[in-house]
Structure 1
């Protein structure tokens, strides 16, 4: 029996200190796209930071989505495996959603470019909590699912899904 149905979310930041090929691709591709797509919001090069563009024109927030589109194929290359979250055996946790956000960027300084991707798992069954370990399985209808354990850390966000229950009065 399940204690609850949850999703796990983990955030990965990308800046000029990239270590892997995946991180480099996300960093460079999003910066290149920021340079192209931010022109309408820079007001003839008066504004050069993402923050300034958003303050002057709220529509600059659409840059989050535009930069996300630029790296969709790179994210697909992960094959739905969260690169920054694994179980205690070292197996990557799967994700259903990946959401890119611009933390900061500057047209004049590539080193100031920082984006994040929040990966969210599919629905998981929480079977038990033992100390700081979550015992989970994927919620796939009609299939027996192998359980796995994830260590709770400050980097993981647990989204609780409340079940609708019929209440008798």
Structure 2
């Protein structure tokens, strides 16, 4: 049977409705950084929204990267585990190797319209089976226990969680 290695992605959307402290900090700091960085692209103060800047100002798509500096420290606080995705025992288990920040929308005069996403990409996992809405996986680099067993995680596919990539090997 072919070995199935998957990478899981999780898209965490953060907007004015968030209630968790970590999410609020990311929301407030990315908005402040957006307002700061947008000044360079909007020196005449002609545009109000991120969308208008991207549409009318060459190079404004760099704001994704420029504003991402505001989240790097917060992402480090996660200790390498994807937030919000829990195994069937209610524990964080999904290690990530990279993330990508994205500005979805923002308004220089209305913070309530600010919306960002952080896309997390897991380390490679062995996908053993699917049980109803659950995936049974193990860490690809995990060594078998002395008993020959491999420790696994059972987790439910939830909104914003996806199999990002699949690799089959014989």
Classify 1:164/1:148 alpha carbon distance in 2 versus 1 (closer, same or farther; 3 Å).
closer
Query: Which of 151, 156, 162 is matched with 2:161 structurally?
Result: 156
Counterpart residue number, 1:104 = 105
Residue by residue, what CA displacement relative to the aligned partner does 1:62-87 show, whole Å, maximum 9, x if unpaired? 11111111110111001112112111
Q: Secondary structure in 2 aligned to 1:96?
A: strand
Q: Is the 8 A contact 1:100 1:118 kept in 2?
A: yes
Note the residue ranges of structure 2 that are not aligned, 5 or more in a row: 145-149
Q: Is the 8 A contact 1:103 1:115 kept in 2?
A: yes
Note the residue ranges of structure 1 that are not aligned, 5 or more in a row: none
Classify 1:113/1:99 alpha carbon distance in 2 versus 1 (closer, same or farther; 3 Å).
same
Aligned pairs for 1:15-164 within 5 A:
15-92=15-92, 93-140=94-141, 143-144=143-144, 145-163=150-168
CA distance in 2, matches of 1:2, 1:153: 26
Q: Secondary structure in 2 aligned to 1:86?
A: coil
Question: After the TM superposition, which of the residue ranges 27-36 and 89-98 deviates more from structure 2?
Answer: 89-98
Q: Is the 8 A contact 1:2 1:125 kept in 2?
A: no
CA distance in 1, matches of 2:62, 2:20: 28
Q: Is the 8 A contact 1:2 1:126 kept in 2?
A: no
Aligned residue pairs, count = 164
Counterpart residue number, 1:8 = 8
CA distance in 2, matches of 1:37, 1:102: 12
